[in-house]
Amino acid sequence: MRILVTGGAGFIGSNFVRRVLTDTYEGLEGAEVTVLDALTYSGNLANLAPVATSARYAFVHGDIRDAELLDHVLPGVDAIVHFAAESHVDRSVRDAAPFISTNVGGTQQLLDAAVRHQIERFVHVSTDEVYGSIETGSWREDHILEPNSPYAASKASSDLLARAWHRTHGLNISVTRCSNNYGTYHFPEKLIPLFVTNLLDGLPVPLYGDGENVRDWLHVDDHCRGIAMVLTRGAAGEIYNIGGGTELTNRQLTELLLEATSRDWSFVTQVEDRKGHDRRYSVDIGKISSTLGYQPQVDFTAGLADVVAWYRDNRAWWEPLKQRAGLV
């Protein structure tokens, strides 16, 4: 199988690529991978260094909005796994334009190209943020979409495009919606890597509002394993939630990170809450569990400890990123 992975130099996409090229996933053994990535601020070829010498790996520097480039890359491709997206909520609040352009317009270009080149399989990677906020219970895949941030609205729009291209053009596409990811190689603007790297350096960390916003945490290894299951065995036109099963308030998570880095609450600065900040996310994974056999495998306590250790030991990876992004 030849797989095109868009956004494959980013946090989640690069994890998927590394796992595929080390034959981690049943049904994808021996697969060849071409990564298409624009290498914007969060795309990083260092994320792919562990597999860069693989004979089954190729990299193309380019943008999913470039139809001519897509026509050059797609011949011979069997499947697309579409990670490429602008994804940071705070950035979308400040300027929504790149999110609409890439997440909506870019996805449309990719879908059109997939139809032109008769791509056999397409997985569109989305987020639980398209559902909005839920006070109690958990979202099933048929829940109404009620996005509350420009980022979430752009992803909800791309989900609907995926549905439309399946229904209109018969594209064999599935959509995955994940909860909050954590893991290694995570760009240090997101909560866990920002807090860990700041605390390691003795810097304060910003806690939004009262800190009682709840998130379900999903290790990136579990997420990518779920995506591989959907790619190889998922049904056309279907949506699959992928969750980690560990719900924590941001305050509880902060406490764990303070403990892991031997810091105390004097390092925490409570800041004004984010505009449109969703109170709670929670996905029901009954569908992917019953149909594909998915269950999260990474224990959160062990996974978080591994992440803190990785950032402690890989300063050369994250220090330049924080400097370039103005996060120090």
Q: Check: pTM over 0.85? Answer yes or no.
A: yes
User: Cβ distance 111 to 254 under 8 Å?
Assistant: no
* Average pLDDT value over all residues in the chain: 97
pLDDT (tens digit per residue) in 184-221: 999 999 999 999 999 999 999 999 999 999 999 999 99
Name the catalytic one among 25, 57, 151, 311. 151
Name the catalytic one among 32, 63, 129, 221. 129
CA angle 222, 22, 17 (to 5 degrees): 60
pLDDT (tens digit per residue) in 151-174: 999 999 999 999 999 999 999 999
User: Cβ distance 120 to 137 under 8 Å?
Assistant: no
* pLDDT grade for 7, boundaries at 50, 70 and 90: very high
pLDDT (0 to 100) of residue 23: 98
CATH code of the region 2-181+220-242: 3.40.50.720
- 29 included as an active-site residue: no
- 128 included as an active-site residue: yes
pLDDT (0 to 100) of residue 213: 96
Instruction: Assess whether the region 2-181+220-242 and the region 185-215+246-277+298-324 belong to the same CATH fold.
Output: no
Domain coordinates of the chain in residue numbers?
2-181+220-242, 185-215+246-277+298-324
Helix/strand/coil for 313? helix
- Averaged pLDDT for residues 103-130: 98
Q: Which of 176, 198, 202, 186 is nearest to 294 (CA)?
A: 176
What percentage of the chain carries pLDDT values higher than 90? 95
CATH code of the region 185-215+246-277+298-324: 3.90.25.10
- Averaged pLDDT for residues 306-322: 97
- 25 included as an active-site residue: no
DSSP 190: S
Name the catalytic one among 128, 141, 222, 278. 128
pLDDT (tens digit per residue) in 248-266: 999 999 999 999 999 999 9
pLDDT at residue 37 greater than cutoff 90: yes
pLDDT (0 to 100) of residue 70: 98
Helix (H) or strand (E) holding 81: strand 79-82
- Averaged pLDDT for residues 134-139: 97
pLDDT at residue 328 greater than cutoff 80: no
pLDDT (tens digit per residue) in 50-91: 999 999 999 999 999 999 999 999 999 999 999 999 988 989
pLDDT at residue 312 greater than cutoff 80: yes
